[in-house]
Structure 1
Amino acid sequence: MNNNGQDSAVVTSLPGTNNAQAARGFVRSVNDWLMECALDDTDISELLSGMVSRLVASGIPIDRVMVAFKTLHPLYEGVSYIWNKESGQVERSTHMGIGDDDDDRRDWDESPMKWMLDNDVSFMRRHLIGPSSVIDFPVLESFRRNRGTDYYALMTPFVTDRDSTLDSNRIFMTYLTRRPSGFSDEDLAILSGIQRRFAVSCKMRINHEETSTILETYLGSDAGGRVRNGQIKLGDSTKTRAVIWFSDMRNSTSVATHVGDDAFLGEMNDFFAATAGAVLKHGGQVLRYIGDATLAIFPIGENENNLEEACLAALYAAAEAQINIDTLNATREEVGKPPFDYGLGMHVGDVIYGNVGVSERVDFTVVGQAANEAARIEQLTKQLGKRVLVSSTVASFISCPTQEMGAYELPGTGVSVKLFAPDFAEACHRIELMRAG
């Protein structure tokens, strides 16, 4: 076997067969299956589980497998998948960036993966027991305490987007066995022989997931899904019925003046985390950020029976947003920052998902009379001295007391709507109980 163990042709036998042809045939069959998975866009958990089951069935003594790679996501930087023989299941975990946390940084700095990356090493093997054992990383000691006998790691670099300025990604693959004699040379040759095909299959799925993440991050889950499914031509549109949420920061000028332009973006993110974050938590879809305003919907669809459920979800999102803002303001007061305030208008009606712009630069947005009316309702919150105003349809389906504010003509629409101010005290109490419990 070559020292790098990358060529499947050097496999001389499967465990117990002593048959080079059988070994090559096995590697070829697994690689063919991996290519089918790449074409089918198979989920990585399913891909790993299927591959390990084939390896174990062939007699390779695997007790643990880990797959890890970086990913493009706003909430975390890495993903790992771990298969354990005891459970027979694959567990997926997400990992934050190294940041400034001393424990996270120490774990990474002392890991085999970091050493392989720094030294551009594509594979590494460590005996964990016996006279040839080498325990030069803390994680190997933990594996040895857990009866591990042999450890094998592979690193495969790949590029997700050659036009991007991001560094090349890498798929790390580690295998652990508890067999007293460890992995045989034939075992390692087989594992090396399928590595690149496995990496190709993972890359296909990583590209798919990163594309979905980008679309959902910038457009929202529903709109992102529509674009991914081909709704990208200028003029493409779909109508849906929904509870429409339009919220806007009231005192953005004073906040910006207090903190300065450089810090204002962080202030806006704090505000959106409190308000738009509440929408997402309760099942709504954030469609657009318009300056410091948020346009969101709670879909009803074609079944009018969903109207009450959508109104209640919007109610609890509004109550959650109120709690979040009040909590945030208590902290801001302690450090001398001006408090956040906002207006929120909620309405029910039809909106149209559509592509607008020019053929070379399309924006996927939501338009419609009902969306305009929700924005006008929000504009009246300051005039009427209320944070939240809802139309009569929303008021009739939310389970909290409301104060009737009267009928008002919505500016620029020619439409008169009866408005109500909800009292969120009971909803806020229930949310706080759920948080405490």
Structure 2
Amino acid sequence: MISARHPVDNPEGWMTECCERMVEAGLPLWRVGVFIRTLHPEVFGRNFIWTEGVSGIQMGTVDFEIQTTPEFQASPLSIVFSDEVEVRGNPHGPEAERFPVLLDLRNEGATDYLALPLHFLDGTLHAMSVSTRQPGGFDPEQIAALRVIIEPLARIIEIISQRRTAEMLLDTYVGNSAGARILGGQIRRGHNDTMQAAIWLSDLRGFTALSDRLPPETVVQILNRYFDCQVTAIRGHGGEVLKFMGDGLLAVFPIDEYVGDAAHVSARVLEAARESRASVEALAFPVGDIVERFRFGVALHIGNILYGNIGGGNRLDFTCIGPAVNLAARLEKIAGKLGRTVVASEGFVKVCRHDWRELGEFPIAGFSKAQRVYGLAEETRAAVV
């Protein structure tokens, strides 16, 4: 029934083909929905909807608050999840008054609806719904056929779900590019690549003093809010966050050397830095009678990095190293001494056309030559903290 033309890393294509083949086998499906609960810090579940005659799969996500909404509580799916039972409804019958979704389906021509539990081998419960426009609804043989295929479908859907969960968790903890490489088989220590990238290294000014005078729980809340100010801008401009180090953040913006897009990438990096600066400046965190305000510094550099698995024993980290990363780290410390928010290396300034001001030449530990450091002309020196 299921072709290998759409492997599990293409769930949309697989679901489309699966539904089409069930229709070819005699099941009068009009709409099929798969509802998967996820292991994600912000997403409670995902839904995938196939509709006959409609190109593509409609996909959506719901947050954890969905469980308390009147819409969900008045849905057949709430019963499937709470009682682990099938729920069948006739859009033209009295149950349509109980389940508003059946009224919506009736308006679209549906004649029958069935929601079934999907039991995964790990013990978790998910759901699948099917609707038809066949006059009189599903007949007994078709209902029996759906009950027969639901278990093997659950196995395949579980495989797809587990892969997507792995992708999401890797994306959350190591970044999307690193996650893709790990899933692609780059799991051995020493397995790495060299690439050119714009490097972003930042930290929060005055973090040590902040940690000393505030409760640890409050410091964690502040860090999360502070990192939000950067991560949104970094990812929105094509960057990847590799690591959080206390109050520090390391991100890279890959450069395609064959395309020669260094100028374009560096411009996006600078825009992300300016957006982050504005967000951090606007951040206000009330602590008792005091409203805490914050400043940060970020160093920007361009260079070649070694990107891959580094670690000891069976504990590895997918990160980047190299002289370019070391230089960015040194520049970030210089930014603090100069009271600047954004500083850049000479290499970054050469490809990022902007109104820069040379801040001086500084000896850098580990480098034989002093390095020229640049700042934005629009910034003035702030108090050093």
Could you state the TM-score of these two structures normalised by the residue count of structure 1? Answer: 0.80
> Structure 2: how far apart are the matches of 1:320 and 1:405?
22
- Whole-angstrom distance in 2 between the partners of 1:45 and 1:355: 31
CA RMSD of aligned residues (A): 2.5
Instruction: Say whether residues 1:85 and 2:48 are aligned partners.
Output: no
1:128 is matched with which residue: 91, 94, 113?
91
**What secondary structure, in the 3-state scheme, does the structure 1 residue paired with 2:357 have?**
strand
From the superposition, tell whether residues 134 and 386 of structure 1 become closer, same or farther in structure 2 (CA, over 3 Å): closer
Higher helix share goes to which structure?
1
2:318 is the counterpart of 1:356: no
Give the drift of 1:115: 1.3
Q: Distance in 2 between matches of 1:304 and 1:406?
A: 33
Q: Secondary structure at the match of 1:98?
A: helix
The residue type paired with residue 389 of structure 1 is V
Identity across the alignment (%): 28
2:382 matched residue in structure 1: none
* Cα offset, 1:397, TM superposition: 2.2
5+ unaligned residues in a row in structure 2: which ranges? 380-385
Cα offsets for 1:360-390 (capped at 9, x unmatched): 2222221111101101001011211211110
Contact kept in structure 1, 2:361 and 2:372, CA below 8 Å = yes
Q: How many residues align?
A: 379
The reply on whether 1:47 has 2:14 as its aligned counterpart is yes
1:371-410 aligned at under 5 Å gives the runs 371-410=325-364
Which of the two has higher C-alpha Rg? 1
Say yes or no: does 1:204 pair with 2:166: no
Pair 1:396–1:134, CA change in 2 (3 A): closer
User: Deviations 1:75-98 (Å, cap 9, x if unpaired)?
Assistant: 312010112235253201111112
1:286-311 C-alpha deviation (Å, 9 max, x unpaired):
11111110111111244372221221
CA contact (8 A) 1:344 1:387 kept: yes
Structural mapping, 1:254-333, within 5 Å:
254-257=209-212, 259-303=214-258, 305-329=260-284
C-alpha contact 1:68 1:81 (8 A) present in aligned 2: yes
* Residue of structure 1 equivalent to 2:29: 62
Cα distance in structure 2, aligned partners of 1:59 and 1:361? 52
Q: Distance in 2 between matches of 1:305 and 1:113?
A: 51
Q: Corresponding residue for 1:157? A: 119
Work out whether residues 287 and 296 of structure 1, in 8 Å CA contact, stay in contact via their aligned partners in 2: yes
TM-score normalised by L of structure 2 = 0.90
Q: How far off its partner does 1:195 sit?
A: 1.4
Show structure 1 runs of 5+ residues with no match.
1-29, 161-167, 426-437
Moved more, 355-364 or 202-211: 355-364
Structure 1, residues 12-40: CA drift from partner, whole Å, max 9, x if none?
xxxxxxxxxxxxxxxxxx2xx26x479x3
Whether 1:111 aligns to 2:78 is no
1:154-192, CA deviations, whole angstroms, 9 ceiling, x for partnerless residues? 1121134xxxxxxx3223111112333111111212222
Secondary structure, aligned partner of 1:153: strand
Q: Distance in 2 between matches of 1:289 and 1:273?
A: 12
Give, in angstroms, the shift of residue 243 of structure 1. Answer: 1.2
Q: 1:44 to 1:301 in 2, by over 3 A?
A: closer
**Secondary structure, in 3 states, of the residue corresponding to 2:281?**
helix
d(CA) in 2 for partners of 1:47 and 1:198?
11
Change (3 A) 1:325 1:223: same
**In 2, Cα distance between the equivalents of 1:356 and 1:279?**
24
With over 3 angstroms needed to count, the CA separation of the structure-2 counterparts of 1:304 and 1:368, relative to structure 1, is farther
1:23: which partner in 2? none
- TM-superposed CA distance for 1:52, in Å, is 1.9
Deviation string 1:279-337 (CA, Å, 9 cap, x unpaired) is 111001111111110111111244372221221121111111112112224x7699832
Name the CA distance, whole Å, in 1 between partners of 2:95 and 2:294. Answer: 60
